[in-house]
Structure 1
């Protein structure tokens, strides 16, 4: 059995696209307000901190479906409210942050297209990250549908 992992020249990217029933400003608020983010992103209440500006830090302790908790930390690389957010995520053992990009495009007064993506070093990392991003988008979609406010 080989344990060698191959990296494509440009990595292993993914992009998930959804259309949400909310204006871009509302989606942005849900993604950048700690109290709201914790409600839909499977975060431990009180664990989310966000300094939403380029270079600002963020952290959250996430809960997995099996109840395990794991801390995430990083910084904001790019902030263009309410259309683009680029997050750097610290990964143990990696010298550089992994970046996740969030793009919001208005598709009418009450609809927003969201594209969430990142590039990973291996297909396995990409598959895990894509699954996690899908769970995030599912939670965000439910949160917005419920009309929750922070």
Structure 2
């Protein structure tokens, strides 16, 4: 798998992360949309992941930081086009509208897939934190796929 990662501010407080993974798009999609697999590579608290992967469907997970702190996250799926396009709404306390993250998968031959994550945030600090967190998620996904999903 390629560990290439690019970060490019698009407009305002946006970021784009790109990775090339040695897996077909369907395998990456499965890792991202199956609760038990998602929990393993995101290091979510056991039993905390629920994914209703359809437009309007809800999701939730409690992430565990390296220091052991727990962060409950919730949201909805805005767009679902299996296995190449996912727009995820993330609930932010105190905000009426969710923050959207877009995942695009493009196959490059029989085994390589380019994964692109995009998100626009309201502040530079929010963007920087979201970009760092997304980078860590992609690290976890890459490791999960490299070890055959045992992660």
Q: How high is the TM-score relative to the length of structure 2?
A: 0.91
Aligned to 1:118: 119
Count how many residue pairs are aligned between Structure 1 and Structure 2.
141
| Paired position in structure 2 for 1:41 | 42
Partner of 1:3: none
- 1:62 aligns with 63
Deviations 1:39-84 (Å, cap 9, x if unpaired)? 0012111100000000000000001111100100000000000000
Q: Unaligned 5+ residue runs, structure 2?
A: 1-10
Structure 1: where are the runs of 5+ without partners?
Answer: 1-9
User: Equivalent residues in 2 for 1:1-150 (5 A)?
Assistant: 11-148=12-149
Query: 3-state SS of the aligned residue for 1:65?
Result: coil
Q: Distance in 2 between matches of 1:71 and 1:57?
A: 14
RMSD: 1.2
Highest RCO, 1 vs 2 (Cα 8 Å, sep ≥ 6): 1
> Alpha-carbon deviation of 1:148?
1.5
CA offset digits 1:77-114 (Å, max 9, x no partner): 00000000000000001111000000000011111000
Distance 2:118 2:83 in 1: 17
1:117, distance to aligned residue in structure 2 (A):
1.5
**Per-residue deviation, residues 1-21 of structure 1 (Å, max 9, x unmatched):** xxxxxxxxx531000000001
- TM-score scaled by length of structure 1: 0.91
Secondary structure of 1:132 counterpart:
helix
State the alpha-carbon separation in 1 of the partners of residues 52 and 94 from structure 2. Answer: 24
- Structure 2 distance, partners of 1:94, 1:42, is 26
